[in-house]
A and B are shown apart, each in its own frame.
Chain A
Amino acid sequence: MRVSVVTFPGSNCDRDAFEVFSSRGHAAKMIWHKDHDLKKPDLVVIPGGFSYGDYLRCGALARFSPIVSEVISFAKRGGLVLGICNGFQILTEAGLLPGALMMNQSLAFICKHQYLKVQTNDSPFTNGIEVGTVLDIPIAHKEGNYYIDNDGLNKLCDHDQILFRYCDAQGATTSESNPNGSLQNIAGIINTQRNILGMMPHPERSATDTVLSQDGKMIFEALERYV
Chain B
Amino acid sequence: MYKAKIFVQLKASVLDPQGKAVTNSLHNLGFADVAETRISKYIEISIDSADEAKAKTEIEQICDSLLANPNTETYNFVLEKQE
Residues of chain A having any CB pair with chain B under 8 Å: 56-57, 60, 64, 92-93, 98-100, 102-107, 145, 147-149, 181
Contacts and interface: CB of A to CB of B under 8 A. Distances in A.
Given A100-B69, A103-B17, 5 more contacts: A92-B71, A102-B15, A105-B15, A105-B17, A181-B17
A56 B15 contact: no
Interface string B42-83: 000000000000000000000000110101100000000000
B69 A107 contact: no
A57 B67 CA distance: 9
A214 to B, nearest CB: 33
A61 to B, nearest CB: 8
B69 to A, nearest CB: 6
| Majority-rule SS of A interface residues | loop
23 contacts: A56-B66, A56-B67, A64-B66, A92-B71, A93-B69, A98-B71, A99-B71, A100-B72, A102-B14, A102-B15, A102-B17, A102-B72, A103-B17, A103-B18, A104-B17, A107-B17, A145-B17, A147-B15, A147-B71, A147-B72, A149-B13, A181-B15, A181-B17
A56 B69 CA distance: 10
Q: How large is the interface on B (under 10, 10 to 19, 20 to 34, 35 or more residues)?
A: 10 to 19
B76 to A, nearest CB: 18
Interface of B: 13-15, 17-18, 21, 66-67, 69, 71-72
Nearest to B68: A57
A63 B74 CA distance: 20
A20 B17 CA distance: 35
A147 B17 CA distance: 13
Nearest to B43: A56
Contacts of A99: 71
Nearest to B39: A103
A100 B18 CA distance: 17
Given A56-B67, A102-B14, A149-B13, A107 B72 contact: no
Contacts of A106: 17
A88 to B, nearest CB: 14
A107 B17 CA distance: 7
Contact of B69 (A57, A145, A149, A181): A57
**Which of B15, B69, B71 counts the most A-chain CB atoms under 10 A from its CB?**
B71
B21 A107 contact: yes
